[in-house]
Structure 1
């Protein structure tokens, strides 16, 4: 039986990218002669190298899955894309068996070396330690590791839930694994306290260009409690850039936001509980901090919940000590 996965929808493709460390995708068409010529080579590589959770080979029919083809700007068939941790790392256009064979076997060797060294990046909280929640935007890597965690300042949090660093953890949320969080008295997600609003001040260790944010929220993921007490997913988010400190709630209401975003119910991926928030990239250039104001939740409850945030963009120069404060002063804070 073939080990190659035939992609049936955009959500299916997202699921595959989230469940395997390396994914190889063959974008093809039934009418494409070169696609048929290289297909046996691809199938042989799939048969030899496929490993559950580590290397997955997929085929994407560009006529049937136009949304996926357009999102990755596929203009010629066949085109082979290679993803690592959900992010595209290599693209091979045309029926080039030698290039395809070399690229895939190199990745397979890297995966084998990582496994032998015990460095898989996995944790006990799920099937993979490095977790994005959704497909990374093309050409923009995950830059969450550029957050200055010592400078995080969050307002209106329920102290019985996870600490601030839980929000930026690289691991799969425990709620998706169907089990309790790792050892410790706290859970690995954040909830608001007295009402549905939260204020999240996130400083960076470098000057960044912020392209988009993945927000993961799994309201019923803890599997307990009264259904009337189920927290809400965030609905309205306001973003503020280059602040030297967190904003108060009254101050935020009176301060023009860099961008305001409304997350619709259809934006949440049903498998991962993640919504992709795309920012107006031109407004998020050369930033040293971002404040995310969770204005309200999607429903009638009194609390909101966020399991993970992942940030995507470009990293610039390392921020010198005191530079953030200076920027804030220049903006009249």
Structure 2
């Protein structure tokens, strides 16, 4: 039985979606978002475990999955002179925004990431928490890329961002799409379920619902993906499934039909970091060159859901 309310629309009675390792996943019957059935206290333990195992990630993503963020800054079209990024990773987007003449800040809980950003880019305005930012400081653009899936209290998170948003500012969100084609086919073998502290993936309806509950207006919600991201998603799911079968029955299987056996959550392994390199290389191609990316976006089944959120009544 699923005990947690949907973190996007607050609906109760979500249906069991599947399990992988120690994680139980549910799909909301109202907004169709997918989330992990886990308490806030247990999530904090997972989040700490994920941080403890990620000290080498800044160096790994510098040559792989984070470089596209610099290009993203030039395409999302957010205006204004002050920029805040939540979870800046290795700092490419902040550096690109600074080089474009913006004043930049960041919030990054991982001390290794903060140290890397300071040494690699000379950016020393990245803090451990929103509360550590200058009192009363607001921002014209707030960016959170691949962050929402790591948040247990999503409404509270967006409310906190709203208090830091300037009157005419905008929040840009990018996160895995629960309605994308890969989990609809492979279920719990979706690679997004592997990460230790991934707990929630919205649908377009769910994203709009949680934004409204947080007191924000939805300027736009859409889906997109990198070239070949859907084929790669299927390939990774098949690889993981076959690897688990080869390892034998003493490992817990991902199962859409029954809850998992008890046990510790899986720890991020070295080959998962290698996957970032594949995505980084693929992203060097222009999205317009890849038919599957255009088709998935048109169907609303693309790998990533994006949203621009503003204060209510802005531009009216």
TM range (shorter): under 0.3
User: Larger radius of gyration, structure 1 or 2?
Assistant: 1
Q: Which has the higher contact order (CA 8 A, sep 6+)?
A: 2
TM-score (normalizing by structure 1): 0.25
Of Structure 1 and Structure 2, the greater helix share is in: 2
Of Structure 1 and Structure 2, the greater strand share is in: 1
